[in-house]
Amino acid sequence: MKVELLCLCDFASVDAGGKLNLLGVFDSIQINETPASHGLAALAGKISFQAEEAGLKKFKIGFYDPERKLVMPPMEAEIEVNPLENESTANAQIVLLISQIRLPSFGKYLIELEIENKLFASTVLHVRKFPSR
């Protein structure tokens, strides 16, 4: 199992052919003051599996503030991994839309992806103050 991509973006989707579409990938935002909230974002990921790893996989996303406190309840879901016949690997795409992300302070936020209760990947969101003018 290998996480090939994990990112925040303005919007993401998976088309009927399994192609992951990303719009507006970002790792930082600027705000005037805290606490604040960010209207809508998508967390997108692409995960590769070996054929022998086929089956139902449980995953969990944790979104933590700079003090390592959850800013929202963990998001949990399942992925069914089904390699095509005679294929040695399979890919799974995940897209989670998140509305009104609570941002209690400036700093570095951490987003962690666990698969089957094991940490596989993380990404960050830097929340910065708008520069003074």
CATH of the domain at 62: 2.60.40.1930
Q: Please give the Cα distance from 118 to 102 (Å, whole number).
A: 26
Q: What is the mean pLDDT of the chain?
A: 94
At 99, list the tokens.
């509305």
The secondary structure of 68-100, three-state, reads: CCECCCCEEEEEEECCCCCCCEEEEEEEEEEEE
**Structural domain range at position 23:** 2-129
Q: What is the average per-residue pLDDT within 34-41? A: 93
Of residues 78, 21, 75, 17, the one with CA closest to residue 44: 21
Instruction: Render pLDDT for 16-36 as a digit per residue (tens, 0 to 9).
Output: 988 999 999 999 999 999 999
Q: What is the pLDDT of residues 41-84, one digit of tens each?
A: 999 999 999 999 999 999 999 999 999 999 999 999 999 998 88
d(CA 28, CA 8): 9
Q: How far apart are CA 124 and CA 57, in angstroms?
A: 24
User: Looking at the whole model, is its pTM more than 0.95?
Assistant: no
Instruction: Specify the number of domains making up the chain.
Output: 1
- Write down the pLDDT at residue 84: 85
